[in-house]
């Protein structure tokens, strides 16, 4: 008799449900995870059931990141599982969890906030990387305050589409695996329906987490949190004289880079409160965000932001202001190497020096991106002024942000024959022509020919971004249970730099009805 292994325990490939494998891969108590920080940092509780959920969106890319098959979306029980419904008994230590944080909202200290409508399921490890999975909109938590713990279909689809679109634009961001919806009514400015977006990130730690423990004078917890972030994400900080100052430095650099990327693509976050700032410099908490259509440097995407605190042109300053709050929160950890009597003063000086690095990082980061957007391989005096003058005439003419940059690639360094597409976006043709002449003169100092410059520019100036009206159209259909437009839009936005001539309409100027669209914090 020959030895043959038993096949009795092996799943049958034809009948195995990929959801079982996915659910088993999500671990709520992985070594070194945020969850392991324990009950000072989080509360474990089940999600509130969402009746009769359906799948409204699915990202096969994010699934692949987690090692899940693309067939997962069609698996029996998928919508239930990712809505937080489960028929299993949760083990007490395997329950999902909501974390506690605080923060500054619109420049004012708001005290304790926390995951008021999000629960983390745990972490998945795949291909050497670890990701936390979080259900947003999964019901009330101890941190819900007056809120209902829910998210609506509209905002969940917007977060799903935009976080995936940002990733494909090359901008650091949390990701999204799926959106599930339900007919359960939810009251906002009008009646809407509930949904859950499953978002995915190496970490959901925010500046506000540090502010929370610092403001409560819980320095041991503050240190444990900082140690967790250093251990997992910035291990090189451990070798620094002052690891916590080094952590601040990492946050300063990644946040400066992020702000430069937002500015360069015309993205407005809308609610840059310190509780919406990722310690990893990721775009997080998509709410009333917006990509600028006709350029207005003062553009305010959030209808609730009457003062324009988070207007487009303010974003870099606000990022810096938020980092200042982070530095303030970390201050008790700084200066271990100093004598006690000197520590306070020296630590403040150190923190200020590290914060200064924002300016020396942000400006060159944005200038570099602007040079790439203009197709300039070399750096010369006056490049900055050339870019700023373009922004000035774009602003004066409300020229479309995305299309202006995209069309610049058609211009030639030899003559004005390729100017037409960009020029048509400017009512003041003379202003455009004056700028175009200077741009052409600058291009003629570059060795690269027109064709190869155009190729390079089309790799940094997207043709497709998630314009508000595109999201709105997909949402209107989804409300009628037709999710094909969510899928189509997601597919187009996966390749934002490709011509995709068959989808030209998705790159066009917004229709007239789009001017009345308003997005606000209430979502
Ligand atoms: P946001 O403006 O979405 O970043 O939310 C700010 C704070 O309010 C966070 O603590 C959220 O968890 C909480 N929050 C927002 N909406 C709700 C809601 N519908 N129910 C409970 N908490 C919410
Ligand atoms: Mg938030």
Structure tokens at 223: 């240190």
Ligand 1 centroid – CA 404 distance (Å)? 36
Span 139-157, average pLDDT: 98
Structure tokens at 137: 């909109």
Which pLDDT score is estimated for 94?
85
Is there a domain that residue 243 lies in? yes
Is there a domain that residue 103 lies in? yes
Task: Mark whether 239 and 351 lie in a shared domain.
Answer: yes
Which pLDDT score is estimated for 13?
59
Other C-beta atoms closer than 10 Å to the C-beta of 458 total 18
Is there a domain that residue 484 lies in? no
Task: Mark whether 67 and 115 lie in a shared domain.
Answer: yes
Q: Is 116 annotated as a binding residue?
A: yes
Q: What is the 3-state secondary structure (H, E, C) of 360-401?
A: HHHHHHHHHHHHHHHCCCCCCCCHHHHHHHHHHHHHHHCCEH
Ligand 1 probe mutation, 103, 117, 142, 196, most atoms within 8 A of CB: 117
Task: Mark whether 226 and 304 lie in a shared domain.
Answer: yes
Other C-beta atoms closer than 10 Å to the C-beta of 128 total 5
Q: For residue range 233-259, what is the model confidence (pLDDT) as tens digits?
A: 999 999 999 999 999 999 999 999 999
Span 33-52, average pLDDT: 97
Is there a domain that residue 326 lies in? yes
Task: Mark whether 353 and 381 lie in a shared domain.
Answer: no
Number of independent structural domains in the chain: 3
Tell me phi and psi for residue 151, to 5 degrees: -120, 155
pLDDT at 2 over 50: no
How far is Cα 254 from Cα 262, in angstroms, rounded to an integer?
Answer: 12
Task: Mark whether 61 and 144 lie in a shared domain.
Answer: yes
Percent of the chain with pLDDT strictly greater than 70 = 97
Task: Mark whether 289 and 186 lie in a shared domain.
Answer: no
Cβ neighbourhood burial of 210 (10 Å; 0-12, 13-18, 19+): buried
Span 205-226, average pLDDT: 98
Task: Mark whether 271 and 180 lie in a shared domain.
Answer: no
Ligand 1 centroid – CA 144 distance (Å)? 7
Q: What are the distances in angstroms from CA 96 to CA 60, 63, 161? A: 24, 20, 25
pLDDT at 179 over 50: yes
Ligand 2 centroid – CA 471 distance (Å)? 21
- Residue nearest atom 6 in ligand 1 by C-alpha distance: 113
How far is Cα 373 from Cα 408, in angstroms, rounded to an integer?
Answer: 9
Q: Which ligand is nearest to the CA of 106?
A: 1
Task: Mark whether 241 and 361 lie in a shared domain.
Answer: yes
- What does DSSP say about strands 191-201 and 118-126: parallel, antiparallel, or unpaired? unpaired
pLDDT at 408 over 60: yes
pLDDT at 12 over 70: no
Task: Mark whether 315 and 380 lie in a shared domain.
Answer: no
Which pLDDT score is estimated for 256?
98
How far is Cα 163 from Cα 158, in angstroms, rounded to an integer?
Answer: 8
Ligand 1 centroid – CA 198 distance (Å)? 16
How far is Cα 303 from Cα 481, in angstroms, rounded to an integer?
Answer: 27
User: 177 with 201: CB under 8 angstroms?
Assistant: no
* Residue where one domain finishes, among candidates 175, 204, 233: 204
Atom of ligand 1 nearest to the CA of 113: 10
* The residue to which tokens 């239930």 are assigned: 80
pLDDT at 320 over 50: yes
* Residue where one domain finishes, among candidates 337, 372, 407: 372
Q: Is 479 annotated as a binding residue?
A: no
Residue 58: which H helix or E strand, with range? Answer: strand 54-58
Cβ neighbourhood burial of 218 (10 Å; 0-12, 13-18, 19+): middle
pTM score of the predicted model: 0.96
Task: Mark whether 117 and 200 lie in a shared domain.
Answer: yes
Average pLDDT, rounded, for the chain = 95
Judged by average pLDDT, the poorest of 70-79, 82-91, 311-320, 402-411 is 82-91
Domain that holds residue 396: 376-447
DSSP code of residue 217: T
Is there a domain that residue 323 lies in? yes
Is there a domain that residue 121 lies in? yes
Pocket of ligand 1 (CB under 6 A): 113-117, 143-144, 147-150, 271, 276, 285, 287, 521
How would residue 1 be classed by pLDDT, with cut points 50, 70 and 90? very low
Instruction: Output 106-113 pairs: Cβ under 8 A, ≥24 positions apart.
Output: 106/273, 106/305, 106/307, 106/309, 107/309, 107/321, 109/215, 110/273, 110/275, 111/215, 112/143, 112/212, 113/143, 113/145, 113/208, 113/275
Q: For residue range 79-126, what is the model confidence (pLDDT) as tens digits?
A: 999 999 986 667 777 899 999 999 999 999 999 999 999 999 999 999
User: 266 with 391: CB under 8 angstroms?
Assistant: no
Structure tokens at 291: 């990509």
How far is Cα 435 from Cα 404, in angstroms, rounded to an integer?
Answer: 13
Is there a domain that residue 486 lies in? no
Span 25-33, average pLDDT: 93
**Residue 217, C-beta contacts closer than 8 angstroms, at least 6 positions apart:** none
Q: Is 84 annotated as a binding residue?
A: no
Is there a domain that residue 497 lies in? no
Secondary structure class of 232 (helix, strand, coil):
helix
Which pLDDT score is estimated for 9?
54
Which pLDDT score is estimated for 87?
64
Pick from 512, 505, 482, 471: which is nearest to 165 by CA?
Answer: 471
Task: Mark whether 174 and 301 lie in a shared domain.
Answer: no
Structure tokens at 253: 């650099």
- Residue nearest atom 14 in ligand 1 by C-alpha distance: 116
According to DSSP, the residues that pair with 151 across neighbouring strands are 195
Ligand 2 centroid – CA 285 distance (Å)? 5
Which pLDDT score is estimated for 3?
47
Q: Which ligand is nearest to the CA of 140?
A: 1
Structure tokens at 252: 């300063």
Span 308-335, average pLDDT: 98
Ligand 1 probe mutation, 116, 204, 287, most atoms within 8 A of CB: 116
Q: What are the distances in angstroms from CA 75 to CA 16, 23, 57, 72? A: 10, 12, 14, 5
- Residue nearest atom 13 in ligand 1 by C-alpha distance: 116
The question of whether 419 is a catalytic residue gets the answer: no
Span 392-420, average pLDDT: 98
Other C-beta atoms closer than 10 Å to the C-beta of 139 total 23
Task: Mark whether 146 and 193 lie in a shared domain.
Answer: yes
* The residue to which tokens 């028929």 are assigned: 87
* Residue where one domain finishes, among candidates 447, 464, 498: 447
Which pLDDT score is estimated for 88?
66
Q: For residue range 352-388, what is the model confidence (pLDDT) as tens digits?
A: 999 999 999 999 999 999 999 999 999 999 999 999 9
Q: Is 337 annotated as a binding residue?
A: no
pLDDT at 8 over 80: no
Determine which one of 275, 350, 400, 419 is catalytic. Answer: 275
For the chain, what is the largest distance between any 2 Cα atoms, rounded to a whole number of angstroms?
91
pLDDT at 4 over 90: no
- Residue nearest atom 8 in ligand 1 by C-alpha distance: 116
How far is Cα 208 from Cα 491, in angstroms, rounded to an integer?
Answer: 34
Ligand 2 centroid – CA 482 distance (Å)? 29
Structure tokens at 77: 């029980």
Length of the chain in residues, anyone? 523
Could you give the angle at the alpha carbon of 197 between the alpha carbons of 194 and 200, nearest 5°?
165
Q: Is 114 annotated as a binding residue?
A: yes
Which pLDDT score is estimated for 515?
82
Judged by average pLDDT, the poorest of 13-22, 139-148, 391-400 is 13-22
Q: Is 199 annotated as a binding residue?
A: yes
Cβ neighbourhood burial of 301 (10 Å; 0-12, 13-18, 19+): buried
């Amino acid at each position: 008799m020959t030895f043959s292994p038993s096949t009795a325990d092996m799943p049958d490939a034809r009948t195995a449900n990929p959801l079982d494998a996915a659910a088993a891969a999500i671990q709520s108590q992985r070594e070194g995870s945020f969850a392991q920080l324990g009950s000072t940092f989080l509360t474990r509780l089940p999600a509130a059931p969402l009746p009769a959920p359906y799948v409204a969106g699915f990202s096969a890319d994010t699934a692949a990141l987690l090692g899940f098959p693309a067939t997962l979306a069609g698996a029996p029980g998928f919508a239930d599982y990712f809505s937080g419904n489960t028929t299993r008994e949760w083990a007490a230590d395997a329950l999902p969890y909501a974390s506690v944080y605080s923060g500054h909202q619109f420049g004012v200290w708001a005290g304790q906030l926390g995951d008021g409508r999000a629960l983390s399921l745990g972490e998945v490890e795949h291909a050497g990387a670890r990701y936390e999975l979080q259900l947003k909109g999964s019901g009330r938590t101890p941190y819900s305050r007056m809120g209902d713990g829910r998210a609506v279909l509209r905002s969940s689809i917007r977060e799903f589409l935009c976080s995936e679109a940002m990733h494909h634009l090359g901008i650091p961001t949390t990701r999204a695996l799926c959106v599930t919806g339900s007919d359960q009514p939810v009251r906002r400015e009008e009646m809407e329906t509930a949904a859950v977006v499953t978002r995915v990130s190496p970490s959901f730690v925010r500046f506000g987490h540090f502010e929370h423990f610092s403001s409560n004078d819980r320095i041991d917890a503050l240190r444990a949190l900082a140690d967790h972030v250093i251990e997992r994400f910035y291990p090189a900080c451990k070798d620094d004289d002052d690891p916590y100052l080094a952590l601040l430095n990492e946050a300063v650099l990644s946040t400066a880079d992020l702000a430069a990327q937002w500015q360069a693509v015309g993205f407005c976050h809308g609610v840059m409160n310190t509780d919406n700032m990722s310690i990893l410099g990721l775009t997080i908490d998509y709410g009333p965000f917006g990509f600028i259509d006709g350029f207005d440097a003062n553009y305010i995407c959030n209808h609730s932001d009457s003062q324009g605190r988070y207007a487009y042109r303010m974003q870099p300053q606000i990022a810096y202001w938020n980092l200042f709050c982070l530095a303030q929160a970390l201050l008790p950890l700084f200066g271990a190497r100093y004598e006690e009597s000197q520590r306070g003063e020296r630590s403040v000086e150190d923190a200020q020096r590290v914060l200064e690095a924002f300016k020396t990082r942000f400006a060159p980061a944005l200038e570099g991106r602007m040079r790439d957007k203009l197709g300039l391989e070399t750096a010369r005096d006056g490049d900055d002024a050339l870019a700023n003058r373009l922004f000035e005439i774009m602003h004066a003419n409300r020229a479309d942000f995305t299309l202006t940059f995209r069309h610049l690639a058609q211009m030639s360094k030899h003559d004005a024959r390729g100017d037409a597409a960009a020029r048509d976006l400017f009512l003041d043709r003379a202003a455009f022509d004056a700028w175009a002449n200077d741009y052409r003169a600058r291009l003629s100092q570059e060795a690269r020919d027109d064709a190869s410059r155009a190729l390079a520019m089309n790799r940094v100036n997207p043709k497709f971004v998630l314009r508000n009206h595109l999201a709105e159209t997909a949402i209107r259909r989804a409300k009628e249970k037709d999710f094909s437009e969510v899928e189509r839009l997601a597919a187009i936005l996966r390749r934002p730099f490709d011509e995709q001539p068959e989808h030209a309409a998705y790159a066009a100027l917004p229709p007239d009805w789009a001017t009345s669209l308003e997005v606000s914090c209430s979502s």
